Structure 1
Amino acid sequence: MDREAFLEKHRRLVHLAHADSWPSIERHGLLSTQEIVRRWDVPASQHDAILRRRRIRSFTLEHPELGRAVVRDQHPIYEAGLQTALAGSGMSVGQWLELLNSMVFFFPSAEAAAKLRAAYASEPAVLITVSARTLLREHESRLRLATFNTGYTRRRPKPRGPDSFMPLRRYERAQGAVQEVTVLSGVPDLSSHLVEVEHLPAQR
């Protein structure tokens, strides 16, 4: 699919993050978990727990110069379901989690982000809206599309593997509606693409 055909349907993309992450995001842009671990000088002894195993809790990382970064837990990922979904892909659970942690994820709309928001309703959040056009213009070579929620594996998880993330040029509408837009490594120039930032209070 070419860029204009994609933009006809997807003018805005959204990212949902923990509210405590916003000062760091505003300063450094949206970075993948893998990139955060690298920049925040996380000890190698913690890399597996953050990058290659399902995170059962969130990690708050502090850096004397870079400030605070919050790496969210991965409660929506059910490991038994993920193992089933990866059957025949040639990938282990650890490799799949490492792949997810190498990207920043966007939803095609605020409505599409509602399920993730519901899963973390007890926490304050920030909903970040960006221009799809400028994001594509600057980062198309690192941009990938997925036609399903790649981090959800609880009920009848879809088969997945390295080809679940497609460059725009390989995506065709017949393959299914876009459910996720990812950028490898991240979007350090977030301010160049920012449309709106909405702070969402915790729901009690």
Structure 2
Amino acid sequence: MNKLRTVIVDDHPIVIEGLKNLLSNEENIQIVGSCYNGQDLLSYLKYHPVDLILLDITLPDINGMELCKLIKAQSVETIILILSNHTERSIILQTIQNGASGYLLKNSALAELRHCIAEALKGNICYSREVVEIISRPSKNGSLALPKLTRREQQILALLAEGKTSQVIGQELFLSPLTVDTHRRNLIQKFQVKNVAELIMAANQQKIL
């Protein structure tokens, strides 16, 4: 098994050391670096391939939400998982919109982190248990509103519902598979679900398909 080259980004050295110790015996993870701020991470990514980033939201130079976009612009295939104490629903959803594959609170168990890493490798969005409860609550204006989809998102949703892969959808719509994956992630975020199966179910329930 190829190990996931992993970088931990947090402005607290004790958190980094704790995560290193926690993950030291994981068979599929190799900690290759750690950074205390966003700029150091971006500099590291220029010269080193990274499969997985465990990222805090609160950093001294760039907030984690914005950093997600910068990471994806530089290294689109790198998986980002947020490890944070922030519990604001808007922050959680914005990080996913900006390219993160999951969001966990720092009090999460190792089993939850393992699960989220496994789900992210499959291309799914994953949250720790407490985060699921937070984003499942109705928004302040009442029940969850129907998501607003672009024309392209509607096209891709329909093709996903037909069981087509990102590769096939890309060929049909003359898009790269990575672009299709980005639209798929946005759809998953807009419907507030965890994977394509739940996405199709939610779209059917809301009579969008």
TM-score interval for Structure 1 and Structure 2 normalised by the shorter chain: under 0.3
Query: What TM-score, normalized to structure 2?
Result: 0.24
Based on CA coordinates, which of the two structures has the bigger radius of gyration? 2
Q: In proportion to residue count, which structure has more helix?
A: 2
Q: In proportion to residue count, which structure has more strand?
A: 1
Relative contact order, higher structure (CA 8 A, sep 6+): 1
